[in-house]
Every structure is written in C-alpha cells, then in structure tokens.
Structure 1
C-alpha cells in the first residue's frame, strides 16, 4: 500500500517546520494512538518503558533539551502505536530507523516494522519540506510504502485507507498548530540557534 500527499503551511518557514518535525515528542503528541517514540537499545522492553507524558515541546521547552532528543540519522527508535481499524485495535510494537536526515535539504527518511497479535507491517517512509511558492510558508511532501499482513490486511484497503487518511490528516493539523505556536513563540535568533544544534 502506498500513501502520499502534500501539506501546505502558509506562514511557517521551512526552518521552523524542520525543527518541529525533528522532535520525537512533538511527533508523538500529534500522532493519534502513539504512546511514545524513544531511542531503542538492546535492553529496551516495550512493556517496561514508561514515557514522560508531560515532556514539553517548543516554544515552552528548553531548546537544548529539544536538540538533544531530536531524531538522528542511523539511530533506531521504538514506537508504541494503538490504532483501531474496523473492529480490531492492535497494539503495534514498532521499530523505526532514521535512514537519512539532511538538514540542508529538509529531508528525512525512515524504515520500520511492527507487529501485534496476528498482524504485522513494514514500511518505508519519508518527508521533505520545500519553501512554498512565492510565500513565507512551507510545503511538506510526505510518502509511505507499507506492507501489511495478518488480520488487519484481511480487512482490506476499503477499511484501512480511511483510517490511515484520518490519522495523517489529524497529524498534520496538529503539527500545523504546534508549528504556528513555535513560529509565534520563538524569535529568529532562537530558530538559528536550534538549527545550529540540530
């Protein structure tokens, strides 16, 4: 299955959009059904990990803290997702690796896989932020190739597609809100500092 699209942010420049989309906490907060996204090592246990539910995001968060937890190229992350698809509400234990992260081109790609009782998936996804044509805003291009098997796959695209589209639409609406908050709450000096840290 392939999902892709573009999203316009009228007044948020690519530099600030990149900062928000580089923050695992901001992404988690915008992704319905996502309990956490955190670096994963050999000792990581999905059942043992306790996420910080109250972790601050920009503009309230300390820029040094946001920069320290930003996605890193080559790093592996654990994400716990629970999303209802039809009558099924699986709990996906997901591993994601950032395969490319280019702050000059505002490009990030990732591969991942996850499993739940009777279902599994693998994915190859990415996003690129472009300056909007003739404006101060951004155009975010995103794509995901997913291979789903098991109980969820049996539901078919007629059931899966609307759920996926709703998750993506809600994600970008919430990301836009966060980006607007960052745009209003941070000056250009802070943005430049964060860009340097990231």
Structure 2
C-alpha cells in the first residue's frame, strides 16, 4: 500500500543550524518517535531500530536510511527501508527543502512510501493518521532540539 505525506514547519534557526541538526545522530535519536537505536554508518547513512504502534499492531522495525541528492544546506532526499517481522515492511523516500525566512528556516517535506504486511491491512485512513501523528511528533521534538541548541549558541 502506497501513501504520501506533505507538510512544512518553520524552525527558529538558520538553515545552516537546521542542517547541522539533521546530521546530528543524537538530535535525530531524540526526535524520532519510538527510536531505540540510531547509528551512523557512513556519511549521510544510518541504521535504526524504531518501535511503533499502529492500531492493534506493535512492531519493532529495523532498517537503514541514507541521504542522497544532497545540496547542503538547502535540500536532500532521504531514502530508506525497514523490516518489522510479521508486522510487515516500509520503504520509501522524502524530498526535504530548507528555505531561509529571516532568522528562521522553512523546512518542507514530501514523503512517498510503500508499506506491506499486516500493517498494510489496517487501511489507509489509519495509516495516514498514524503517519501524520508521528511526523508531527518528530518535528515538534526536532524543533525544540534545534531551537534550544540555537539559543545556547
């Protein structure tokens, strides 16, 4: 089952500071909902273990993500895939654009993903709702981390 998600947030930090945060494994680990492990495996490449709950299904996904088409500090594409055992799989990508707005940065993203297995059987409305909730949680936590780092600098 394929799904898409688009959104944007304004972060109270420069594009350079947002870029640094996107490349900081500690900030990412703290921002990703359900993240149990995040390890940098190379330049712009990570492995992760994330526990999520979608409706009645709880699963631990193990996977890898990498940054491609990098144009620092303006844009990149994030591609990845993960396996959740009996719960299923997820794979896809996101195009991320950072645009300066005064002392802030507008971060816009456009996600395309494909999921399969038991989680895909839950239906698109449930999947879309959970994806939006997880995305909102990530960006709330990410914004807090970026803005506190910006204030400390």
- What's the TM-score, normalizing by structure 1? 0.71
Contact 2:37/2:48 (8 A) holds in 1: yes
Please list the CA deviations of residues 88-124 of structure 1 after superposition, one character each: whole Å capped at 9, or x if unmatched: 01111112122232214x2121211111122011111
Q: Distance in 2 between matches of 1:126 and 1:82?
A: 24
Higher strand share: 2
Match of 1:4 in 2: 6
Q: How does 1:35-46 map to 2 (within 5 A)?
A: 35-40=36-41
Instruction: Return the offset for 1:39.
Output: 3.0
Please list the CA deviations of residues 63-94 of structure 1 after superposition, one character each: whole Å capped at 9, or x if unmatched: xxxxxxxx724xx4211011000010111111
Aligned pair 1:19/2:17, yes or no?
A: no
What SS does the aligned partner of 1:90 have? strand
Match of 2:82 in 1: 114
Match of 1:129 in 2: 98
Match of 2:52 in 1: 83
What SS does the aligned partner of 2:33 have? coil
Change in 2 beyond 3 A, CA 1:39/1:20: closer
After TM superposition, the runs of 4+ consecutive aligned structure 1 residues lying more than 6 A away are none
Match of 2:65 in 1: 96
Please list the CA deviations of residues 156-181 of structure 1 after superposition, one character each: whole Å capped at 9, or x if unmatched: 11111111111111111111111111
Q: Distance in 1 between matches of 2:46 and 2:146?
A: 23
What SS does the aligned partner of 1:20 have? helix
CA RMSD of aligned residues (A): 1.5
Contact 2:25/2:40 (8 A) holds in 1: no
Contact 1:72/1:101 (8 A) holds in 2: no
Rg larger in 1 or in 2? 1
Match of 1:189 in 2: none
Q: Distance in 1 between matches of 2:81 and 2:137?
A: 22
